[in-house]
Amino acid sequence: MTISLQLALIFLGVAIVVMGMLWIFIPVLSGLPWVPTHLKRIRKALELSALRPDEILYDLGAGDGRVLVQAARQYGARAVGIELSPTHCVLAWLRVLLSSVFNRVSIRWGNFYKMNLGEADVVFAYLTPAHAMRLRPQLESQLRTGSRVVTISANIEGWEPSAFDSGDLIFLYHMPPKPGSLVSFLAKEACPPSQE
Ligand SMILES: C[S@@+](CC[C@H](N)C(=O)[O-])C[C@H]1O[C@@H](n2cnc3c(N)ncnc32)[C@H](O)[C@@H]1O
């Protein structure tokens, strides 16, 4: 084996190890590990958000890009994914490249807390309660009236959802958010205010 081939193999090995470590450690260190959303749950969430063709969907923490592809393919939306882990960005980019909707999807490598989300019509985010709390002021200050926020797994404290899927833990909010909570939403669902 020639020296240059040996060097190329060593370089390739090191690159694979580094990318693998970034794959594992960046999501874990962010406090929001990579847990891909099941396709059925994505479909329900997008359905609930009433995403329309040509609207812009942001996925905060895009993982492998599955939400972006689904939003663009099924709804004709334009989808923007923000992802902290470069390895996930590469995987998402490959997924998008192999899909029929690569011209409607873009992936930004970075921290969603440091980005402006103002152009989003729909924000999709798979969150933990701590991240939901941290994200709240950013959503309140950046999102336009009429935009929607759909969260998976964690609700946003202090906001009353406009819809809630208890089976799949999906929460929908309309901007500006109504003050309240999941409890106030459930109370209204159980005893709707009388029409008189
Ligand atoms: C629970 S996964 C959700 C993946 C994808 N949205 C889905 O539903 O299949 C969360 C993702 O967010 C990424 N992440 C965590 N903190 C982030 C941050 N501050 N900015 C951008 N991405 C972040 C993680 O690397 C991980 O891929």
Residue segments in the chain with a per-residue pLDDT below the cut of 50: none
Ligand 1 atom nearest to 66, measured from its CA: 9
**SS3 state of residue 159:** strand
Long-range contacts of range 129-136, CB-CB < 8 Å, 24 or more positions apart?
129/154, 129/155, 129/157, 130/31, 131/31, 131/32, 132/156, 132/157, 133/157, 135/60
Fold of 39-188: Rossmann fold (3.40.50)
* Residue entry with tokens 């490598």: 109
Query: Residue 196's pLDDT is what?
Result: 58
Q: What is the model's pLDDT at position 66? A: 98
Residue 195, pLDDT score: 63
| Nearest alpha carbon, ligand 1 atom 24 | 27
Reported pTM: 0.91
Q: What pLDDT score was predicted for residue 102? A: 93
CB-ligand 1 contact for 34 (6 Å cutoff): yes
How far CA 103 is from CA of 17, 57, 99, in Å, comes to 31, 14, 10
For residues 108-133, b (16+ Cβ closer than 10 Å) or e, as one string? ebeebeeeebeebbbbbbbbeeebbe
Residue of 30, 37, 43, 115 to mutate, ligand 1, most atoms within 8 A of C-beta: 30
> If DSSP codes are grouped into helix, strand and coil, which group holds residue 44?
helix
**CA 42 to ligand 1: nearest atom:** 8
Q: Is 107 in the pocket of ligand 1 (CB under 6 A)?
A: no
112 touches ligand 1 (CB under 6 Å): yes
Pocket mutation for ligand 1, best pick of 21, 66, 84 (most atoms within 8 Å of C-beta): 84
Residue nearest to atom 13 of ligand 1 (CA): 61
End-to-end alpha carbon distance in the chain: 87
Model confidence pLDDT, tens digit, residues 126-146: 999 999 999 999 999 999 999
